[in-house]
Structure 1
Amino acid sequence: MDRLTEHLIIISFDCLSALDLPILKELPHFQTILSNGALVERVESIYPSVTYPCHATIVTGNYPNRHGVINNSLLQPGKASPDWNWYRKCIRGTTLYDEVKKANMTTAALLWPVTAKADIDFNMPEIFANRAWQNQILVSLLNGTPRFQWKMNKRYGHIRKGIQQPELDDFVLEAAVDTIKSKKPNLLLVHFTDLDTQRHEHGFSSEEAILSIHRHNQRLGRILEALKEAQILEQSTIIALGDHSALDEQKAINLNVLFTKQNLITTNASGKLIDWKAYCKSCDGSAYIYLKYPEDVDTYKTVRNLLNLLLEEPDFGIEKFITGEEAAARGADPACTFMIEASRGFFFLEDYRGDLIKTITKEDARADKKYTFACHGYSPEKENYGTILMAAGKGIQQVTLPSIRLIDEGPTFARLLGVSLGNTDGEVIDELLTLKEEVT
């Protein structure tokens, strides 16, 4: 299969929403993409619409139940800070970067989720030190390309302040510009999280969120300029996309508190979780409910009855629940017993002590990062909850499409580079591509 472009630059602006389009149209570098390329006005995300499953979907073309990354973090009841799905091995099947590498093209990834220990030529994976004794730089070096990361940290590490934003994205930007100029990869995956952070901490339409979109415009401009300076702009395709949107919320639901009261979660004298029969695993705006022993009929009935009672009380913030079979049909984890959806204004946490429903204050948010003012993870069927895709350059039509699905992006990106992801849940969106102008 001939490829349509020589260099594919995929920039993920985490939490970029279809509702941001009016702002993007007023910003010069996003204008450059929009006036010279393609726009998808609404991209339907996946369920649950959280970052790691979304980014695994983007590079596989499959729903979470097929690629295996069904949540950001692992099911580890009682652990204060559960580990995340950081590693390439968490993804079942092939990926865009695997297929590009097999085709003898150069690959690079900067803080792209679920790429730790991936076979990527120049890899700085998104993975963080999750234990007190771990060193962040060492953890990154051991799970990516050591020499490449060492050079990037030596040159630009002074910009970063841990994982604080906007400094982290400023660091990633400099690494991206450097990589484009020095490596000229055929595939570059870049993940920026500034907007996502600001929306979590300040709200969807907050001044801080709007300012971060303006910073993203400048970052996009720097990347476009780097492609010019590397003299590969005319042979490149630039994709700017979001993975999910976000919704404002004011109340946290701690369903595990109710499970503890019902003796479905057992704690010791000091309040530490020591055993469980049922557990609510947060996906922010949705949550999985797992049974430790799925064949436990009594626990199943108890949990189902509790959920039915909560549905009758709007103040508890549960919009609906579905069975594990129904969750699997929507692409979510088939191993869950139930999946629950929060009403607007609510999201889920995993606390098993304290209040069942907690109204979030600014003091809460300052004291603990888990208390946010906007989040995602909701069903993609929620109104005004789509994300967006823009593309320009080699192989891209000047066209506006009303909608595609997140699962369609991976197969379409693969077609641009002349590779295939095989039999996927998504499909190539030919309307985006200039299939007649192929290059060898």
Structure 2
Amino acid sequence: MKLWRTIQFSIALVMATSLPVGQAGARAGAATPNAAEVSGRHPVLMISIDGLRPDAVLDADKHGLKIPMLRSFLIGGSYAQAVINVNPTVTNPNHTTLVTGVLPAEHGIYNNRPFAPAAKLPKSYSSYAQIKAPTLWGAAKAAGLKTGSIFWPVTQRATDIDFNLVEGNDEDDAKIADDAIALIEQKNPELLTVHFVNFDHQQHEFGPFSAEGNAALERIDTALGRVVAAYRKTHSGGVVAVVSDHGFDRVTHQVNLNAAFVDAGFIKLSGKGDEQEVTSWKAFVWYVGGSALIVLQDRKDQKTKASVSEYLQKLAADPANGIERIYARDEYANRGLPPAAEYVVAFKPGYRMANAMTGPIVKPSKGGAHGAFSTRTVRADMHSSFFITGPGIAAGQNLGVIDMRQIAPTLAAELKVSLPAARAPVLPIRGQ
């Protein structure tokens, strides 16, 4: 039997429950590899490839991608033509929706980082306790199942995850596969979530469908094949879902909206050069990426609200600023965005927000970005992916365009666990 040399459980992989060793061992012994399948319960392995656009798999030849494992899902399983993800189209909110089935307004993870106008770089949402909605891990644990996770966002100190790896090198795809295989073979969780993030990082630096990005996805495809093969040996009746959180766009320009807000007097700074700090503000731009959220310090201040609205329209009128549209609160009220956001600034393809507080508003840039305001018909390049295989899963079935909120209840149904907050309909993945 392999040793836990890859994860080094004594340091990095934490038993999230407070069960004594004897009780934990009893639980582990009670769940054999096939016991979950006798009652119609199917163990679940959900693997997220951060930043995977569906067309990377659906049109792999067009993009010169050699990803046989991912392409095998198109023949052997069911898949979405596209997944309408939640806004903002960034990592943390969407990964949380993947395990809760609800919008950010319900689960509480509104962006990658909380709003903190005085901070140079606000800390990311990371603590599991910040999630305000029931999760798949919690539902599985309540049903007496073992749960595991590797590098899934917003899972630090997760009490519902029995085996939880959150520290280490999340760039090493082969190592992540080693860790997942070791966890599958030795701890055998009925629900396991795994997050590969290196593909996202390469696309940020070099752009979507760059040579570097494609090479990263091909490495992950190899790692995915190894993990799935190990999973099939342990859970022959389990289902494997491959998901993503958002798509990507190639960047040509960055827009420093807060620098514009400083120029307009909505933000006051003190100090000089890079040492300048925010001393006061009436309106501030909450960074997203391909979009931006505008927050008013006092939402009852109608004078400032009117001034901000007028100023945003002035910025949008100049094509050089790359603003596609300004959305007012009532235009996105049902999309789950933060209640603090008064406006959403949607950038044109090729433009993204940057964080400088001084200097030019618009600068040339390169690489890739996501976070654009996206709907079923707007910015399809932000849409994410869903593929699923397993015994009884309909083969070669195109599910069409689906809502990300359908994924969690679908997997809950496979696990035969209750996730009542997830109200979206279950996907028709099983053959008749």
Would you call these one fold, judging by a TM-score over 0.5? yes
Partner of 1:123: 164
Q: Amino acid of the residue matched to residue 309 of structure 1? A: K
Q: How does 1:7-406 map to 2 (within 5 A)?
A: 7-21=43-57, 22-23=59-60, 27-119=67-159, 120-125=161-166, 140=167, 160=169, 165=171, 167=172, 169-228=173-232, 231-270=233-272, 271-360=276-365, 373-380=367-374, 381-398=378-395, 399-406=397-404
What's the CA shift string for 1:13-67, capped at 9, x where partnerless? 0011012022289533223333221121211111111000000100111111111
Structure-2 separation of matches of 1:176 and 1:224: 10
Once residues 263 and 8 of structure 1 are traced to their aligned partners in structure 2, the CA distance between those partners, rounded to angstroms, is 52
Matched-pair contact (CA < 8 Å) for 1:4–1:415: no
Q: Deviations over 1:272-293 (max 9, x none)?
A: 2111111001110111110111
Give the counterpart letter for 2:348 in structure 1: S
- Report what 1:420 is aligned to: 418
Letter of the structure 2 residue corresponding to residue 23 of structure 1: A
* Structure 2 unaligned spans of 5+: 1-35
CA separation of 1:265 and 1:425: change in aligned 2, threshold 3 A: farther
- Counterpart amino acid of 1:419? V
Distance 1:225-1:424 versus aligned 2 partners, 3 A rule: closer
Q: Secondary structure at the match of 2:292?
A: strand
Report Cα offsets for 1:105-131 as digits up to 9, x if no partner: 000010101111112100123xxxxxx
Q: Deviations over 1:129-179 (max 9, x none)?
A: xxxxxxxxxxx4xxxxxxxxxxxxxxxx7xx4xx5x3x2x33222111110
The equivalent of 2:8 in structure 1 is: none
Quickly say closer, same or farther: Cα 1:263–1:27, change in 2 above 3 A.
Answer: closer
| Residue aligned with 1:341, SS | strand
| 1: CA distance, partners of 2:297 / 2:174 | 43
Quote the offset at 1:252 in angstroms: 0.9
Q: Find the residue that maps to 2:386 and give its secondary structure.
A: strand
> C-alpha displacement at 1:425, in angstroms?
4.7
CA contact (8 A) 2:409 2:423 kept: no
Which stretch has the larger CA shift, 171-180 or 22-31?
Answer: 22-31
Verify the 8 A CA contact 2:89 2:382 in the aligned structure 1: no
Describe the shift of the 1:71–1:85 C-alpha distance in structure 2 as closer, same or farther (beyond 3 A).
same
Per-residue CA shift, 1:294-326, capped at 9, x if unaligned? Answer: 111121111100111122111111111112333
Tell me the secondary structure at the aligned position of residue 388 of structure 2.
strand
Q: Distance in 2 between matches of 1:402 and 1:288?
A: 30
Separation of aligned partners in 1, 2:401 and 2:302: 42
Unaligned 5+ segments in structure 1 are 126-139, 141-156, 361-371
Is the CA contact 1:280–1:350 (under 8 Å) kept in the aligned structure 2?
A: no
**Distance in 1, Cα, partners of 2:198 & 2:45:** 19
SS at match of 2:341: coil
Q: Which moved more, 1:33-42 or 1:244-253?
A: 33-42
Distance 1:202 1:4, change over 3 A: farther
Asked if 2 retains the 8 angstrom alpha-carbon contact of 1:5 and 1:237, the reply is no
Q: Which amino acid aligns with 2:369?
A: C
Q: Secondary structure at the match of 1:220?
A: helix
* TM-score in terms of structure 2 length: 0.85
CA distance 1:3–1:386, change in 2 (3 Å):
farther
AA partner of residue 311 (structure 2): L
The CA distance in 2 between the partners of 1:51 and 1:10, in whole Å, is 16
Aligned to 1:235, the other structure's residue is in SS state: coil
**CA positional deviation for 1:7:** 1.9
SS in 1 for 2:250: strand
SS of residue in 2 equivalent to 1:23: coil
Q: Percent identity?
A: 29
- Letter of the 2:296 counterpart: L
The 1-side partners of 2:178 and 2:287 are apart by 34
Q: Which secondary structure does the structure 1 equivalent of 2:80 belong to?
A: strand
Total equivalences in the alignment? 384
Deviation at 1:70, TM superposition (A): 0.8
Cα 1:331/1:395, change in 2 over 3 Å: farther
C-alpha separation between the residues in 2 aligned to 1:324 and 1:351?
A: 25
